[in-house]
């Protein structure tokens, strides 16, 4: 067992609050999947050979830490840890689903290329992505939590952390947040230049009635240099979708993007 390189644990409880025994028993792990593992209070993964990690945390740990200098791929799902520490300088792909960590500490992600994240609060997240100039692809969604306060994330604020994006995908919650920001600030403010430099943009629109002004504002920034896909949720009214398409194609005759459907 000492030389084990791949390990998957699902829906069990460990008598190992901080994962000290786990780290000691499997020092050569390269691939780890921990799905719904309970009994963790301050879990800390310390594995020097780890390359890929999928960690779904089912309880509410006080803190959550990963020390893995060779880690390349990380998928992390957790709710509300007091602190999140990522010492993973070789990370290339990050898939993060988290509500609102109070404290975030991370090494510089100089190798990070792709980020997929689903979050609800800015608290700590901007610090996590301070030095991510290598990121070229971002998939972004805002969680549908009931709490609403001034900590709610806005895409306009976090977008500046990724100056070299060329591929952006917004989920329905992220679009709603962006639309609210545009309506609140008005359409005359200076938009981050990253929008103009995008090569690919995918919008997954929500079921609620759309404000065509917001969609037109975004399309105007990206046409004609960007490949754009506008997707309506499957159960949205066909008549409303047709009106949006007709309005946008009239305003932007050079628009040759894709209109389509996405499923929740």
64-78 average pLDDT score = 96
In this predicted structure, what is the pLDDT of residue 183?
Answer: 79
User: Mean pLDDT for the chain?
Assistant: 85
In this predicted structure, what is the pLDDT of residue 192?
Answer: 63
Residue 151, pLDDT above cutoff 90: no
Q: What is the CA radius of gyration of the chain?
A: 20
Rounded Cα distance, 44 and 47, in Å:
10
- Residue 24 DSSP SS3: helix
Residue 126, pLDDT above cutoff 60: yes
95-107 average pLDDT score = 81
Per residue in 173-222, pLDDT tens? 888 888 887 777 776 656 666 677 889 999 999 876 778 888 988 888 88
Residue 43, pLDDT above cutoff 50: yes
Residue 129, pLDDT above cutoff 90: no
Alpha carbon separation from 149 to 78, 84, 103, 176 (Å, rounded): 21, 22, 18, 15
In this predicted structure, what is the pLDDT of residue 195?
Answer: 74
pLDDT band at 149 (very low <50, low <70, confident <90, very high): very low
Cβ atoms of 14 and 35 closer than 8 Å:
no
Sign of the CA dihedral 150, 153, 154, 156?
Answer: positive
In this predicted structure, what is the pLDDT of residue 116?
Answer: 96
Residue 28, pLDDT above cutoff 50: yes
48-55 average pLDDT score = 98
106-123 average pLDDT score = 84
Secondary element (H or E) of residue 95? strand 93-97
Q: What percent of the chain has pLDDT over 90?
A: 44
Residue 55, pLDDT above cutoff 80: yes
In this predicted structure, what is the pLDDT of residue 146?
Answer: 45
Rounded Cα distance, 188 and 157, in Å:
17
In this predicted structure, what is the pLDDT of residue 180?
Answer: 82
Q: What is the b/e burial string over 116-138, where b = at least 16 CB atoms within 10 angstroms of the residue's CB?
A: bbbbbbbbbbeebbeebeebbbb
2 DSSP assignment: T
Q: What percent of the chain has pLDDT over 70?
A: 86
Give the residue extent of every domain in the chain: 1-137, 166-264
CB neighbour class for 230 (10 Å; exposed up to 12, middle 13-18, buried from 19) = buried
């Amino acid at each position: 067992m000492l030389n084990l390189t791949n390990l998957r644990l699902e829906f069990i409880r460990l008598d190992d609050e901080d994962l000290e025994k786990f780290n000691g028993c499997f020092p050569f792990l390269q691939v780890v999947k921990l799905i719904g593992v309970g009994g963790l209070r301050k879990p800390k993964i310390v594995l020097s050979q780890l390359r890929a990690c999928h960690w779904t945390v089912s309880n509410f740990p006080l803190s959550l830490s990963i020390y893995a200098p060779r880690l390349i791929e990380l998928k992390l799902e957790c709710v509300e840890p007091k602190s999140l520490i990522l010492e993973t300088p070789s990370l290339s792909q990050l898939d993060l689903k988290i509500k609102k960590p109070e404290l975030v500490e991370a090494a510089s992600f100089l190798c990070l290329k792709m980020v997929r994240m689903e979050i609800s609060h800015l608290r700590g997240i901007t610090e996590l992505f301070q030095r991510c100039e290598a990121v070229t692809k971002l998939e972004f969604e805002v969680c549908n939590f009931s709490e609403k306060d001034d900590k709610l994330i806005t895409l306009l604020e976090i977008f500046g952390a990724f100056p070299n994006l060329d591929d952006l995908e917004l989920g329905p919650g992220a679009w709603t947040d962006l639309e609210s920001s545009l309506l609140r600030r008005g359409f005359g403010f200076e938009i981050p230049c990253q929008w103009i430099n995008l090569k690919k943009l995918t919008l997954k629109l929500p079921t609620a009635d759309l404000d065509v002004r917001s969609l037109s504002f975004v399309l105007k920034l990206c046409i004609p240099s960007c490949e754009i896909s506008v997707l309506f949720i499957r159960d949205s009214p066909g008549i409303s979708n047709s009106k949006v398409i007709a309005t946008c194609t009239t305003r932007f005759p050079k628009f040759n993007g894709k209109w389509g459907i996405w499923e929740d």
